[in-house]
């Protein structure tokens, strides 16, 4: 923090192997109350190996003029990576027997490969709407009930009923679209929510 003889400063240092990474704006800010903020900083492209460099500047001719700087500490290296892909749209296919989940950009397919897989590897839970009661009900997705556990068995039955009588299968159509094949008598409808794993907080 600022004192009568100096003040703490933090400088953002670019990584050494960041071709194309662009730092724009003010990269050095003063510490205030033990916290430093960079309101005028913009990182134009993702990169790796960034560091925060803390220093203490001693005022030589007053706080508004240039001062000597003693570097005290550098942080561990950290990366600034792009946000993970987000769901851009969910729609029934032309036959209303499958759901197409389309992401806003190419993905790594969740490391699930090219073949079909159980949709329960992808789905976290369902929030279904009852038009009669006007209420929403959340049901956890599951692959199978624990033997001897009636409550778990009932929950799995509801889970499977949403997407059909048979266990639903999913497959990547391309790097941006995954298809969810619905089973017979699937109960998923408009206004229902399907929460994918990793998006439980917001759902789809």
pLDDT of residue 166: 73
Whole-number Å distance between alpha carbons of 9 and 24:
18
User: Any alpha helices (H) in the chain, and if so which ranges?
Assistant: 150-163
Q: What's the pLDDT tens digit per position in 16-67?
A: 777 777 788 899 998 888 889 999 988 878 888 899 999 887 665 555 445 5
Whole-number Å distance between alpha carbons of 57 and 37:
17
Q: What does the block give as tokens for 117?
A: 């897989």
Query: What is the percent of the chain with per-residue pLDDT over 70, rounded to a whole number?
Result: 75
pLDDT of residue 169: 84
Q: What does the block give as tokens for 17?
A: 């192997």
pLDDT of residue 186: 80
Q: What's the pLDDT tens digit per position in 123-139?
A: 777 777 777 777 777 76
For residue 100, what pLDDT band results from cuts at 50, 70 and 90?
very high
State the average pLDDT for the chain: 76
| 171 three-state secondary structure | strand
| Cα distances (angstroms) measured from residue 137 to each of 69, 118, 140, 194 | 60, 23, 10, 12
- How many residues are there in the chain? 204
Whole-number Å distance between alpha carbons of 62 and 176:
57
Radius of gyration in angstroms for the set of CA atoms belonging to the chain, rounded to a whole number: 26
Residues 6+ apart with CB under 8 A from 124: 140, 141, 195, 196, 197, 198, 199, 200
Average pLDDT for residues 91-119, to the nearest whole number?
A: 85
| 42 three-state secondary structure | strand
Q: What's the pLDDT tens digit per position in 136-155?
A: 777 666 654 444 455 555 55
Average pLDDT for residues 59-77, to the nearest whole number?
A: 65
């Amino acid at each position: 923090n600022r004192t009568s003889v100096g003040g703490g400063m933090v400088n953002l240092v670019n990584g050494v192997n960041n071709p194309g990474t662009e730092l724009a704006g003010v990269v050095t800010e003063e510490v205030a109350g033990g916290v430093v903020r960079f309101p005028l900083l913009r990182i134009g492209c993702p990169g790796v190996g960034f560091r925060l460099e803390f220093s203490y500047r001693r005022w030589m001719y007053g706080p508004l003029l240039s001062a000597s700087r003693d570097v005290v500490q550098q942080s561990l290296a950290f990366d600034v990576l792009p946000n993970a892909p987000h769901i851009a749209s969910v729609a029934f296919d032309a036959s209303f027997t499958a759901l197409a989940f389309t992401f806003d950009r190419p993905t790594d397919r969740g490391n699930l490969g090219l073949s079909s897989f159980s949709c329960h590897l992808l789905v976290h839970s369902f929030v279904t709407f009852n038009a009669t009661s006007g209420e929403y009900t959340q049901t956890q997705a599951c692959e199978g009930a624990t033997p001897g556990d009636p409550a778990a068995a009932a929950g799995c039955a509801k889970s499977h009923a949403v997407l059909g009588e048979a266990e639903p299968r999913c497959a990547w159509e391309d790097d941006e679209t995954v298809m969810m094949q619905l089973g017979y008598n699937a109960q998923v409808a408009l206004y229902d929510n399907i929460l994918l794993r990793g998006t439980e907080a917001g759902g789809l």
